[in-house]
Amino acid sequence: MNTIDAIIEDFELLDDWEDRYRYLIELGRKLEPLSEAAHNEANKVRGCASQVWVETRVIRGPDTPAILVFQGDSDAHIVRGLVCLILAFYSGRAAKEILEADALDLFRKLDLTAHLTPQRSNGVRSMIERIKSDARAALAAP
Protein backbone atom coordinates (compact mmCIF):
# COMPACT_ATOMS: atom_id res chain seq x y z
CA MET A 1 0.00 0.00 0.00
CA ASN A 2 1.17 3.56 -0.68
CA THR A 3 2.21 5.68 2.28
CA ILE A 4 -0.05 8.54 3.22
CA ASP A 5 2.66 11.06 2.24
CA ALA A 6 2.99 9.52 -1.23
CA ILE A 7 -0.79 9.55 -1.68
CA ILE A 8 -0.99 13.23 -0.67
CA GLU A 9 1.83 14.14 -3.07
CA ASP A 10 0.22 12.24 -5.94
CA PHE A 11 -3.20 13.69 -5.18
CA GLU A 12 -1.89 17.26 -5.13
CA LEU A 13 -0.33 16.80 -8.58
CA LEU A 14 -3.77 16.17 -10.07
CA ASP A 15 -5.74 19.33 -10.84
CA ASP A 16 -8.75 17.79 -12.52
CA TRP A 17 -11.37 16.07 -10.34
CA GLU A 18 -11.93 13.35 -12.91
CA ASP A 19 -8.22 12.49 -12.59
CA ARG A 20 -8.50 12.54 -8.78
CA TYR A 21 -11.46 10.16 -8.88
CA ARG A 22 -9.53 7.85 -11.21
CA TYR A 23 -6.61 7.99 -8.79
CA LEU A 24 -8.91 7.02 -5.89
CA ILE A 25 -10.16 4.06 -7.93
CA GLU A 26 -6.56 3.06 -8.70
CA LEU A 27 -5.70 3.25 -4.97
CA GLY A 28 -8.60 0.92 -4.26
CA ARG A 29 -7.31 -1.58 -6.78
CA LYS A 30 -3.99 -1.68 -4.89
CA LEU A 31 -5.58 -2.59 -1.56
CA GLU A 32 -4.41 -5.90 -0.16
CA PRO A 33 -7.24 -8.39 -0.60
CA LEU A 34 -9.32 -8.98 2.49
CA SER A 35 -9.95 -12.66 3.12
CA GLU A 36 -13.44 -14.00 2.53
CA ALA A 37 -13.63 -14.90 6.23
CA ALA A 38 -12.99 -11.22 7.10
CA HIS A 39 -16.06 -10.17 5.09
CA ASN A 40 -18.22 -10.74 8.15
CA GLU A 41 -20.71 -8.87 10.31
CA ALA A 42 -18.14 -8.08 13.02
CA ASN A 43 -15.92 -6.27 10.49
CA LYS A 44 -18.76 -4.55 8.64
CA VAL A 45 -18.80 -0.77 9.07
CA ARG A 46 -22.26 0.54 9.91
CA GLY A 47 -23.39 3.83 8.40
CA CYS A 48 -21.93 3.32 4.92
CA ALA A 49 -24.21 3.24 1.90
CA SER A 50 -21.81 0.81 0.22
CA GLN A 51 -20.65 -2.32 1.95
CA VAL A 52 -17.40 -1.67 3.82
CA TRP A 53 -15.39 -4.00 6.02
CA VAL A 54 -12.48 -3.07 8.28
CA GLU A 55 -10.44 -5.75 10.00
CA THR A 56 -8.32 -4.63 12.96
CA ARG A 57 -5.27 -6.34 14.35
CA VAL A 58 -3.70 -5.07 17.57
CA ILE A 59 0.01 -5.63 18.06
CA ARG A 60 1.24 -5.41 21.62
CA GLY A 61 4.80 -5.47 22.89
CA PRO A 62 5.98 -5.69 26.48
CA ASP A 63 7.30 -2.12 26.54
CA THR A 64 5.47 -0.53 23.61
CA PRO A 65 2.01 0.91 23.17
CA ALA A 66 -0.66 -1.00 21.26
CA ILE A 67 -0.22 -0.58 17.51
CA LEU A 68 -3.26 -1.04 15.29
CA VAL A 69 -3.00 -2.46 11.80
CA PHE A 70 -6.00 -2.32 9.51
CA GLN A 71 -7.14 -4.03 6.35
CA GLY A 72 -10.31 -3.13 4.53
CA ASP A 73 -12.52 -3.63 1.54
CA SER A 74 -15.62 -2.28 -0.14
CA ASP A 75 -17.94 -3.36 -2.90
CA ALA A 76 -17.74 0.11 -4.56
CA HIS A 77 -14.68 1.28 -6.53
CA ILE A 78 -14.42 4.86 -5.27
CA VAL A 79 -15.26 3.83 -1.71
CA ARG A 80 -12.53 1.21 -1.89
CA GLY A 81 -10.14 4.06 -2.75
CA LEU A 82 -11.42 6.05 0.23
CA VAL A 83 -10.85 2.96 2.42
CA CYS A 84 -7.27 2.82 1.12
CA LEU A 85 -6.74 6.50 1.95
CA ILE A 86 -8.13 6.13 5.48
CA LEU A 87 -6.12 2.97 6.16
CA ALA A 88 -2.92 4.59 4.87
CA PHE A 89 -3.58 7.44 7.31
CA TYR A 90 -4.31 5.30 10.39
CA SER A 91 -2.76 1.84 9.97
CA GLY A 92 0.44 1.16 11.86
CA ARG A 93 -0.11 3.88 14.44
CA ALA A 94 -0.35 3.62 18.20
CA ALA A 95 -3.89 3.67 19.59
CA LYS A 96 -3.37 7.01 21.35
CA GLU A 97 -2.00 8.55 18.15
CA ILE A 98 -5.04 7.30 16.21
CA LEU A 99 -7.36 9.02 18.67
CA GLU A 100 -5.46 12.29 18.28
CA ALA A 101 -5.21 12.15 14.46
CA ASP A 102 -7.89 13.82 12.35
CA ALA A 103 -8.45 12.16 8.99
CA LEU A 104 -11.25 14.62 8.24
CA ASP A 105 -8.62 17.37 8.29
CA LEU A 106 -6.74 15.41 5.62
CA PHE A 107 -9.95 15.15 3.57
CA ARG A 108 -10.41 18.93 3.86
CA LYS A 109 -6.76 19.53 2.88
CA LEU A 110 -7.21 17.39 -0.23
CA ASP A 111 -10.56 19.14 -0.92
CA LEU A 112 -12.27 15.76 -0.86
CA THR A 113 -15.03 16.88 1.50
CA ALA A 114 -16.31 19.28 -1.15
CA HIS A 115 -16.36 16.56 -3.82
CA LEU A 116 -17.96 13.64 -2.00
CA THR A 117 -21.68 13.01 -1.92
CA PRO A 118 -23.33 13.37 1.50
CA GLN A 119 -23.73 9.56 1.63
CA ARG A 120 -20.01 9.00 0.98
CA SER A 121 -19.09 11.69 3.52
CA ASN A 122 -21.23 9.90 6.11
CA GLY A 123 -19.52 6.63 5.20
CA VAL A 124 -16.09 8.21 5.65
CA ARG A 125 -17.09 9.48 9.09
CA SER A 126 -18.40 5.99 9.96
CA MET A 127 -15.10 4.39 8.92
CA ILE A 128 -13.11 6.90 10.97
CA GLU A 129 -15.34 6.39 14.00
CA ARG A 130 -14.98 2.61 13.68
CA ILE A 131 -11.18 2.91 13.63
CA LYS A 132 -11.20 5.28 16.62
CA SER A 133 -13.54 2.93 18.49
CA ASP A 134 -11.08 0.08 17.91
CA ALA A 135 -8.26 2.33 19.18
CA ARG A 136 -10.25 3.15 22.35
CA ALA A 137 -10.86 -0.57 22.90
CA ALA A 138 -7.15 -1.31 22.46
CA LEU A 139 -6.28 1.35 25.06
CA ALA A 140 -8.81 -0.03 27.50
CA ALA A 141 -7.62 -3.64 27.14
CA PRO A 142 -5.08 -4.90 29.67
- List residues with catalytic annotation: 48
Q: What single-letter DSSP state applies at residue 44? A: B
Strand order across the beta sheet in which 52-61 lies: 52-61, 64-74, 93-94
Contacts of 130 (CB under 8 A, 6+ apart): 45, 46, 54
Pairing of strands 64-74, 93-94: antiparallel
Contact 95, 54 (CB under 8 A): no
Q: What is the largest CA-CA distance in the chain?
A: 48
The H-assigned helical ranges of 1-142 are 4-13, 17-29, 77-90, 95-100, 103-109, 118-140
